[in-house]
């Protein structure tokens, strides 16, 4: 449990507004990388869209044509990227999404409605 992404502290002006500094890129890239696998993208979606905000591993595993250890490995990757949290309750382990990080990634990718000239960006930091 010691490993947890340092994504939480970052703020994210849109990609297209200003150049992303190296540290921000280094901190955020692992989250994108974690979503860069079809299985993990589906896992992330199943977790984020689960009723009650959480879903059991026992409901995730049979949805794929993969072994338990492989699913577990992907879930660990999502966990270490800071995208999900896990909690054991009795026999089962439940995963839930961390909307904050998803929100940051979405904000980074948001394309400001301007087309050629970037608007006189007054929204410097996420104040």
Residues that bind a second copy (CB under 8 A): 8-12, 15-20, 22, 25-26, 28-30, 32-42, 44-46, 48-49, 51-53, 97, 99-100, 102-107, 109-111, 114-118, 121, 123-127
- The set of residues, in sequence order, having a beta carbon less than 8 Å from that of 30 and lying 6+ positions away, is 5, 7, 80, 81
Q: Tell me whether residue 15 or residue 57 sits nearer to DNA (CB atom).
A: 57
Which of 73, 100, 106, 109 is close enough to bind DNA by CB under 7 A? 73
Q: Which does 70 bind (CB under 5 to 8 A by kind): DNA, a second copy, none?
A: DNA
Per CB under 7 A, contacts with DNA among 76-95 are 76-77, 86, 88, 90-93
How many amino acids of this chain bind DNA (CB under 7 A)?
27
For the chain, the three-class secondary structure string (H helix, E strand, C coil) is: CCCCCHHHHCCCCCCCCCCCCHHHHHHHHHHHHHCCCHHHHHHHHHHHCCHHHEEEHHHHHHHCCCCHHHHHHHHHHHHHCCCEEEEEECCEEEEEECHHHHHHHHHHHCCCCCCCCCCCCCCCCCC
Q: Which does 90 bind (CB under 5 to 8 A by kind): DNA, a second copy, none?
A: DNA
Task: List residues near DNA by CB under 7 A.
Answer: 33, 36-37, 39, 56-58, 61, 65-77, 86, 88, 90-93
């Amino acid at each position: 449990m010691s490993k947890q992404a340092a994504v939480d502290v970052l703020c994210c002006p849109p990609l297209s507004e200003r150049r992303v500094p190296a540290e921000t890129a280094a901190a955020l890239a692992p989250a994108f990388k974690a979503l860069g696998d079809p299985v993990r993208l589906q896992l992330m979606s199943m977790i984020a869209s689960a009723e009650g905000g959480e879903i059991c591993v026992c409901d995730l595993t049979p949805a794929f044509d993969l072994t338990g250890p492989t699913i577990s490995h992907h879930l660990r990757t999502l966990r270490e990227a800071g995208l999900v949290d896990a909690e054991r309750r009795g026999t089962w382990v439940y995963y839930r999404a961390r909307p904050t990080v998803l929100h940051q990634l979405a904000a980074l990718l948001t394309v400001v409605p301007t087309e050629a000239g970037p608007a006189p960006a007054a929204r410097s930091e996420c104040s």
